[in-house]
């Protein structure tokens, strides 16, 4: 740990224990990292805390929506396992609707995965990075039986609900809690999904996507970014293409770009995978 870690942890405590975040049980190292970064940029402790709060709001993105985690968790515990595919799909849809990133994909679910897998082939192992509610799309992915699905997020109630869902739906999946930027997943996989998050990673720490992508032990890295903003009024496509090309500069990793709805998808073939 860096010399200022203990001080940064003291500064991080009020944020972690605030009404806004305490139920999420965020990894303390995430907030410590944000504060340390701000201190390294020369901000005074009070300013560093303000800066960390701003960045954390963008990382957790509460404005994108949430289900009632306790209620849904109780529901899954009560039913134990889903009794048929219709039940799985109707629960999954409710979860997808609860978060803007997955909500806007609902009309395009079948097309979305077909388009990706036509390029990458159907993976037998998947990492879903910064997943939010995306694992609830599993029933529409058309994956081979037994496909191993490993999802990652730093939001504890989300991770717990996803684990309960995998169990109830009989999916060979596991959700992991932690900060993937600070601790990239070590697991090997055919494909990693990194959807609608690379621009936020870059806002958190400029340039961080490059070492993050390099650390992943996967054959295909499928990165998506919004081609327009949440209101649909601003065209972001060129900005997103630049983020991806800057991140991959000098790497010999072929990229196939496709657009599904308003989501720009970059299928990146990692040559070291
Ligand atoms: C915009 S949502 C992702 C949407 C999802 N990938 C999709 O496209 O449907 C961002 C999610 O990433 C998670 N997240 C952000 N930074 C993270 C990090 N460093 N490690 C793990 N999860 C992270 C947040 O908790 C949130 O659930």
Predicted TM-score of the model (pTM): 0.96
Residue 228: predicted pLDDT: 85
Asked if residue 204 has its Cβ within 6 Å of ligand 1, the reply is: no
DSSP state letters, 105-154 = TGGGHHHHHHHHHHHH---SEEEEET-TTGGGGGGGT-PPTT-EEEEEES
Residue 79: predicted pLDDT: 96
Distance (Å) from CA 33 to ligand 1 centroid: 17
Query: Could you tell me the residue ranges of all domains in the chain?
Result: 8-60, 80-269
Asked if residue 209 has its Cβ within 6 Å of ligand 1, the reply is: no
Q: Which atom of ligand 1 has the smallest separation from the CA of 182?
A: 19
Handedness of CA 177, 194, 118, 138 (dihedral sign): positive
Residue 33: predicted pLDDT: 97
Q: What is the mean pLDDT of each run of 10 residues along the chain (273 residues)?
A: 72 97 97 96 96 97 96 97 97 98 95 98 98 98 96 98 98 98 97 98 98 98 90 82 97 96 96 57
Is 3.30.1520.10 the CATH number for 80-269?
no
Residue 230: predicted pLDDT: 65
Length of the chain: 273
Residue 234: predicted pLDDT: 72
Whether 95 contacts 65, CB under 8 Å: no
Q: Which atom of ligand 1 has the smallest separation from the CA of 105?
A: 9
Asked if residue 61 has its Cβ within 6 Å of ligand 1, the reply is: yes
Please list the residues that pair with 255 across neighbouring strands. Answer: 268
CA-nearest residue for atom 22, ligand 1, is: 153
Distance (Å) from CA 181 to ligand 1 centroid: 11
CA-nearest residue for atom 16, ligand 1, is: 59
Mutation to probe ligand 1, out of 127, 153, 179 (largest number of atoms < 8 A from CB): 153
Residue 273: predicted pLDDT: 43
Give domain 8-60's CATH number out of 1.20.58, 1.10.8, 1.10.287, 2.60.40.
Answer: 1.10.8
Strands (E), 148-187: 148-153, 173-177
């Amino acid at each position: 740990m860096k010399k200022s870690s203990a001080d940064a942890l003291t500064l991080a405590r009020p944020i972690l224990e605030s009404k806004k975040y305490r139920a999420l049980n965020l990894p303390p190292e995430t907030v410590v990292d944000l504060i340390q970064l701000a201190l390294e940029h020369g901000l005074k402790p009070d300013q560093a805390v303000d800066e960390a709060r701003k960045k954390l709001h963008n990382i957790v993105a509460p404005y994108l929506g949430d289900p009632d985690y306790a209620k849904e968790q109780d529901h899954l515990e009560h039913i134990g396992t889903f009794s048929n595919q219709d039940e799985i799909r109707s629960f999954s849809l409710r979860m997808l609707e609860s978060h803007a990133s997955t909500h806007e994909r609902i009309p395009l679910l079948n097309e979305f995965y077909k388009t990706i897998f036509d390029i990458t082939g159907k993976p037998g192992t998947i990492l879903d990075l910064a997943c939010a509610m995306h694992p609830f799309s599993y029933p529409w992915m058309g994956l081979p039986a037994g496909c191993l699905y490993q999802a990652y997020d730093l939001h504890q109630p989300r991770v717990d609900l996803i684990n309960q869902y995998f169990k109830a739906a009989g999916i060979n999946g596991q959700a992991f809690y932690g900060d993937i930027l600070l601790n990239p997943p070590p697991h090997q996989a055919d494909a990693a999904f990194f959807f609608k998050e690379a621009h936020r990673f870059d806002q958190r720490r400029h340039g961080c996507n490059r070492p993050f992508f390099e650390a992943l032990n996967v054959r295909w890295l499928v990165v998506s970014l919004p081609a327009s903003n949440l209101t649909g009024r601003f065209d972001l496509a060129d900005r997103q293409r630049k983020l991806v090309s800057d991140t991959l500069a000098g790497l010999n990793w072929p990229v196939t770009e496709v657009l599904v709805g308003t989501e720009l998808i970059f299928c990146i073939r990692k040559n070291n995978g």
